[in-house]
Every structure is written in C-alpha cells, then in structure tokens.
Amino acid sequence: MGAQERKRQKKIKEYVINRDGMICCYCDKPLTPETITMEHIVPDSRRGTFNTTNLTVSCSEHNNKRGNKPFFDYCKQFHWSDDKLEKYKRLYFNNLKIKVLNIAKEECLPKAVNGDEQAVPSDLIQRACKVLKIKGMDFGPYENMYQFEIKFAELSDRKRIELCVEQLIRIIEADSE
C-alpha cells in the first residue's frame, strides 16, 4: 500500500468513526482507539471496498465472529431499531450505486458512442448492472434533485459522461453522511 492510499484510508476511517461513534455497531459496547476495528458491510473477500459507504465500526469479538457472514443476517440477533437498520440499508444501497457507476465508468465508457443530455446514459447503467449481476438501478431521484454543473457543449461525449458519473458518485457519497 502506497503513502497516498494510506492517507486515503486514514481519512475514511476518521470519517466513519465520526459518523458512527466509538461504539460497536452490533453490541453498542464503547470502544477505544486500541480496541476499535473497521467492519466491512460487504466483506473484503466478496469485493467489498474500503470506503465510507461500506464501512462501520465494531468490537474485535463481533468482527471475528461475523467473519464472512452476510451483514444483514448477522445483525438480526442484536435487535436493532428500525432507524438503525434503515441507516445501514441506505449505506449498502448507496455503496451498490457507486459500484454500478464505477463499473459504468471503467468498463462501459470506452464503448460509449453518443448520448443525449441526461446525466448518466441509462444504457451505460444497464451494462454496469449486468456486470454486477443485478437487475437494475434507478438514479432518477438524484438526477432530478440536483443540477449538474457541466458545460455540455464544450466537451466531448466521453468527457461529459465521465464528469456526470463522477458528480453522481459525489452526490451519493454526500447522501450517506
């Protein structure tokens, strides 16, 4: 891991601790800088990413006990409130959206030819969903809620789509705070 990646991970860690507090997400046990562990919602081993929408904090006991079990199965035994469950579902779906957008950017963009002026062309999204083997993903609410500040006429199609995708990712990240 390079210095830049270490810096990125440190920033993300601080952000997540600030958002979720110094308590285990499962058992609510208070944690210290020595006992805190970063918990992946989608495990590392299942292509889970190290970013704010896929991380929370837990004690090492529950981190170890959970292992690779699905997050939303494992948490059932802790009788979370509806609000708490809703918070993690929102993070999970926002993380999935960001993955779809990143795949659209990396795998589909070179093939994109022409687009109309919608924020992110829906055929790109569909192709990305296929790569992730999910049915589909609706970005409509974000695209309607926010104005995209891009001067379309001055840019190539490729650059325009790339900027739309990046902007949408930032909006989704802000929605997870």
Nearest partner of 52 among 21, 13, 18, judged by Cα: 13
Joined together, the tokens standing for residue 126 give: 């569909």
Range list of β-strands (E), 46-118 = 55-59
Exposed/middle/buried for 6, CB within 10 Å: 0-12, 13-18, 19+? Answer: exposed
3-state secondary structure of 37: strand
Quick check: 95 and 51 in contact, CB under 8 A?
A: yes
Comparison of 25 and 137: residue with beta carbon closer to Zn ion: 25
Comparison of 88 and 142: residue with beta carbon closer to Zn ion: 88
Q: CB 14 → Zn ion: shortest distance, Å? A: 21
Q: CB 58 → Zn ion: shortest distance, Å? A: 5
As a whole number of angstroms, the distance between CA 42 and CA 98 comes to: 13
Comparison of 62 and 105: residue with beta carbon closer to Zn ion: 62
Q: CB 97 → Zn ion: shortest distance, Å? A: 28
Comparison of 16 and 100: residue with beta carbon closer to Zn ion: 16
Q: CB 77 → Zn ion: shortest distance, Å? A: 11
Binding site for Zn ion (CB under 5 A): 24, 26-27, 29, 59, 62
Q: Which residue is nearest to Zn ion (CB)?
A: 24
